Amino acid sequence: MKLAGLFATLIGLAILVYLVLANGGAAIETAIASAGFGILWVIAAHFPQSLASSLG
């Protein structure tokens, strides 16, 4: 199972790198900056759900 997790992580990182290169770092930075503090609320709301899922 650890091999599958490592493989999935590598695939995810490859997709991330491709998307950043395809869209440009400046465009991504602008999108995140325009979201403002709202993105922090989304992360904060997602944390309890992720924690509960990891605990089973």
pLDDT at 10 > cutoff 80: yes
**Could you list the residue range(s) of the whole structural domain that residue 47 is in?**
2-55
Q: How many domains does the chain have?
A: 1
How far apart CA 39 and CA 28 sit, in angstroms, is: 13
pLDDT average, residue stretch 14-40: 90
Which is it for the CA torsion 20, 21, 22, 27, positive or negative? positive
For Cα atoms 51, 55, 1, give the angle at the middle one, nearest 5 degrees.
105
Q: What is the pLDDT confidence band of residue 13, given thresholds at 50, 70 and 90?
A: very high
pLDDT average, residue stretch 19-37: 88
pLDDT at 25 > cutoff 80: yes
